[in-house]
Amino acid sequence: MNFRYSNINSVGWYLKYVGLPLTLCITIHTLISRLSNKRRRAALQKKVVVITGASSGIGEALAHSFYEQGSTVVLAARRKTELDRVKKELMSKKVPFQVQEPVVLELDLSNLDNMGLFVKQVYESCGHIDILINNGGISHRASILDTDIKVYKQIMDVNYFGSVALTQAALPKMVERRIGHIVFISSVQGLIAIPRRSAYAASKHAIQAFADSLRAEMHKYCIDVSVISPGYVKTAVSLNALTGSGSVHGVMDESTAAGFTPEYAAEKFLDMIVNKEKESVLSQLTPNIAIYLRHHLPSLYFFVMAKRASSTNEI
């Protein structure tokens, strides 16, 4: 009986002197973080934000998030009809302050020679670039044995060289102004590589490395560099992915269909960007575990991936 009362007293002591203060500290920290994010978001008003891949998915959702903060949004992608649709939807929004009309510019990331002209068009329309979000890209669904080398080149041209060339074209005037923010929307597959995604994972690994070098070199010019690595987001990424022959995959993966909504991801990304986080991950539990295993228990990670490669089921 005394033992039971002793346990009850111990629990009561813990709740009073540990649990309640800890809960209070967490609540205060959460409130401070939200207020800080709100203040930083307010600084986005009239900022010029260029978003590639803005015709759908994460890029479209990011356009909405930045527009709602009063940013001048430059919508870039290959499909002008879809960009015009996004622009129309943005302008139909009711926001509590005056926002500049979104700018629509066609952009094919695989056309590396066109990046200088694209940036020139942005400067002619907006005067400068405050934030460049490299979001456009394509994915891959095929084994290495079944993938033609042209597919590797096509994906690398879009996902890696396209973002690099656009960044290089935008940097000189950012350096001149000593202000700017380069953002790369990468993937957890830039941190780990899984079977049947070799071309996509390789392109995202390359972006991670380029961003690390860029961040170091741009520090003296006061230019920020962020890499955001999402897990599964419910977009058309798997539908538009390339197979080994270069044809369109055309299948919605179960994991992608069950992913975060683009709107949820965009709001999280917005805070990561305004907080100028150098590297951020927004993912589900399974990819987070895989990232942990790859860095801390690589042998177990390799075993799990070998098992996955032997299965027809996708993660």
In percent, the amount of the chain with pLDDT more than 90 equals 83
pLDDT at 6 over 60: no
Confidence bin at 75 (pLDDT 50/70/90): very high
* Contact indicator for 166, 121 with CB cutoff of 8 Å: no
Residue entry with tokens 């205060």: 28
pLDDT, one tens digit per residue, over 33-51 is 566 666 777 889 999 999 9
* Contact indicator for 158, 136 with CB cutoff of 8 Å: yes
Average pLDDT, integer, range 224-233: 98
Residue 88 pLDDT: 97
Which residues, in sequence order, are CB contacts of 201 under 8 Å at separation 6+?
187, 189, 190, 192, 193, 194
User: What pTM value is reported for the model?
Assistant: 0.87
Residue 221 pLDDT: 98
Give how far Cα 36 sits from Cα of 41, 63, 90, 95, Å. 9, 22, 26, 21
d(CA 214, CA 275): 18
pLDDT at 14 over 70: no
Confidence bin at 195 (pLDDT 50/70/90): very high
Residue 34 pLDDT: 61
The catalytic residues are 200
Q: Residue 42 belongs to what H/E stretch?
A: helix 20-42
User: Tell me, what DSSP letter sits at residue 188?
Assistant: G
Average pLDDT, integer, range 48-72: 97
pLDDT at 234 over 70: yes
Selected residue with higher pLDDT from 265 and 19: 265
